Amino acid sequence: MKKLLVIVYYWPPCGGVGVQRWLRFLKYLPRHGWESTVLTTLDGDYPAIDDSLLKDISKELKVIRTKTPTFGGLYKKSGESKVPYGSLEINAADSLFRKVSIWIRLNLVIPDARKIWNRFAYKAARKELLANRYDAVITTGPPHSTHLIGLKLKKNHNINWIADFRDPWTQMGYLKNVKRLKATSYFDKLLENKVVKNSEAIIAASQKIISDLNCSSDKTHLLTNGFDPYDYMEIMKKRIDDNFNLNYFGTLPLESNPISVLKAVIQLQEKGITGIKMNFWGNISEEVKEQLNKLDNSGIVKFYQHISHRKAIELMSNSSMLLLLINNVKNNEGIITAKIFEYMGSGITILGVGPKESEPAKILHETGSGKMFQYDEVDKIADHIESVYHLWRKGKETGSKEIDKYSCVNLTRELNTVLDKFVSKISSF
């Protein structure tokens, strides 16, 4: 068996879509002759907790959990509900503690606050590598501070190291609308360049991430996120109620404000098309809640807490339409949120709001899974919802789905090809 060590901060019981990528890869890699070990946190600063995901971890998978200092207790003592996640914007209503802590995070902590884990993770990784032989080590981010563990291991132990980018680093969407010291941005970019230069290979979840990293093409490999077909096998399709439920799942920052979609639904309501509901499941920005509630006078919008992955898949599969929102920030053409693939796996048509000339728009088009509209195209969004609404009332599907390419079974096969080439290349020296 070939051996792989994966260093990852977010791992079950951490919830959210960021966990799914390596949870699924490691589920299917044994089929290709890989024996894997995961080095992760014991109890990190997580966006949500989902104990149900623990059942997806194979008993054969070795998991090493390390001590993990967190900021959660500090935030609770200050009166804040949780550590900021998914957005670093502030507004006038925020507490002084929140404003100061976010300024410190943006300007004095490079690359991110999760690097407080690195000392413990490095020590555990070093111990594991000295005790066992591994063909390759993978670090995955965000948090991108995890890659600095790989960088240090490479320097001190000459490991065969691959850096996996699930999201951009210095081009991350939430950094576009915030003020940051030039010196901070400079040193952050310097660290990113060191990771790119010293790793043997780069895996990225979008082509735009690869372009932004600006490294040689023979070193980079595009490997998108995907969906697990087995998640949907036992789901019973049924109408939950008589409403046309337009559902959103996951974190919703201010940069992804769906105000234009609500305006479109109100426009349809004024035409006499009733029963359309917008439901948001997950960590929703308080600013977004406030703006939507201010506009909604008839109970169109409802907000719900984070739910388990299993429950989310069930609700997705029984939605009338699914809402995909791309952050309205600069350089957003390559933002491929992981939820797009789980949406696709459900077989429910997707309403996308974001740049039309973008990677997620191309995915929706090539798979027949939905359509993408610009942020200000309220009339077109309304027309599209209306057309899907009438088809839904008749019990008709809205389009064919060619999604096998994005199945985690097939994506893991591609990952194995990358790993085998990588190991063969290293062995030939």
326, 200: one domain? no
Of 101 and 65, the structure prediction assigns the larger pLDDT to: 65
Phi-psi region of 3 (alpha: psi -120 to 50; beta: other; left: phi over 0): beta
Integer Cα distance of 363 and 140 in angstroms: 23
Specify whether 192 is located in the same domain as 60: yes
- pLDDT digit string, tens, across residues 182-192: 999 999 999 99
pLDDT in tens, 311-361: 999 999 999 999 999 988 887 888 898 999 999 999 999 999 999 999 999
Distance CA(344)–CA(10), nearest Å, equals: 23
114-134: average pLDDT: 96
Q: What domain range is 293 assigned to?
A: 229-404
Please compute the mean of the pLDDT values over residues 210-234 and round it to a whole number: 91
Q: What pLDDT, on a 0 to 100 scale, did the predictor assign at position 177?
A: 67
Tell me the per-residue pLDDT of 235-260, one tens digit each, with 9 for 90 and over: 888 877 889 999 999 989 888 999 99
Judge contact between 123 and 93, C-beta under 8 A. no
pLDDT at 87 over 70: no
Residues 219 and 327 in one domain: no
Residues in the chain: 429
pLDDT for 403 beyond 70: yes
Q: How far apart are the first and last CA of the chain?
A: 21
Q: In this structure, are 353 and 309 located in the same domain?
A: yes
pLDDT of residue 83 exceeding 70: no
Top-confidence residue, 241 or 374 = 374
Tens-place pLDDT, residues 337-350: 899 999 999 999 99
pLDDT at 425 (0 to 100): 61
Judged against a pLDDT cut of 70, whether residue 145 lies above it is answered with: yes
What pLDDT does 72 receive?
61
Nearest to 262 by CA among 299, 306, 316: 299
Q: What is the pLDDT of residue 113?
A: 87
Residues 249 and 383 in one domain: yes
* pLDDT surpasses 70 at 371: yes
Mean residue pLDDT across the chain: 90
Q: Are residues 422 and 389 in the same domain?
A: no
> What does the alpha-carbon distance between residue 188 and residue 195 come to, in Å, rounded to a whole number?
11
Total domains, the chain: 2
Are both 178 and 191 inside the same structural domain?
yes
Q: Using CA atoms, how far apart are residues 206 and 208, in angstroms rounded to an integer?
A: 5
Which residues, other chains included, contact 237 with Cβ-Cβ below 8 Å and sequence gap of 6+?
317, 318
Residue 318 and residue 170 share a domain: no
Select the more confidently predicted residue: 104 or 398. Answer: 104
258, amino acid identity:
P
pLDDT range class, residue 88, cuts 50, 70, 90: low
What would the pLDDT profile of 188-219 be if each residue is shown by its tens digit?
Answer: 999 999 999 999 999 999 999 999 998 878 89
> Do 302 and 194 reside in the same domain of the chain?
no
pTM for the model stands at: 0.89
* Mean predicted confidence (pLDDT) in 14-30: 93
Three-state SS for the chain is CEEEEEECCCCCCECCHHHHHHHHHHHHHHHHCEEEEEEEECCCCCCCECHHHHHHCCCCCEEEEECCCCCHHHHHHCCCCCCCCCCCCCCCCCCHHHHHHHHHHHHHCCCCHHHHHHHHHHHHHHHHHHHCCCCEEEEEECCCCHHHHHHHHHHHHCCCEEEEECCCCCCCHHHCCCCCCHHHHHHHHHHHHHHHHHCCEEEECCHHHHHHHCCCHHHEEECCCCECHHHCCCCCCCCCCCCEEEEEECCECHHHCCHHHHHHHHHHHHCCCCCEEEEEECCECHHHHHHHHHHCCCCCEEEECCCCHHHHHHHHHCCCEEEEECCCCCCCCCCCCCHHHHHHHHCCCEEEECCCCCHHHHHHHHHCCEEEECCCCHHHHHHHHHHHHHHHHCCCCCCCCCCHHHEHHHHHHHHHHHHHHHHHHHHCC
Domain CATH number, residue 328 = 3.40.50.2000
From CA 194, how far away is CA 202, in angstroms rounded? Answer: 12
Tokens read off for 147: 């890659």
What per-residue confidence (pLDDT) applies to 428? 38
Cβ atoms within 10 Å of 4's Cβ, excluding its own: 22
The rounded distance, in Å, linking the Cα atoms of 317 and 252 is: 20
- Position 288 scores a pLDDT of 94
288/334 same-domain check:
yes
274: CB partners within 8 A, 6+ apart: none
pLDDT level of residue 429 (50, 70, 90 thresholds): very low
Do 380 and 355 lie in one domain? The reply is: yes
Residue percentage of the chain with pLDDT more than 90: 70
> What is the model's pLDDT at position 94?
67
Say which residues have a Cβ less than 8 Å from residue 283's Cβ, sequence separation at least 6.
47, 48, 85, 86, 250, 251, 252, 306
Query: How many angstroms separate the CA atoms of 61 and 212, rounded?
Result: 34
The reply to whether 241 and 286 lie within a common domain is: yes
Statement: residue 392 has pLDDT above 50 = yes
| Predicted local distance difference test score (pLDDT) of residue 91 | 61
> What is the rounded CA–CA span in Å between residue 205 and residue 261?
27
Is residue 172's pLDDT more than 90?
Answer: no
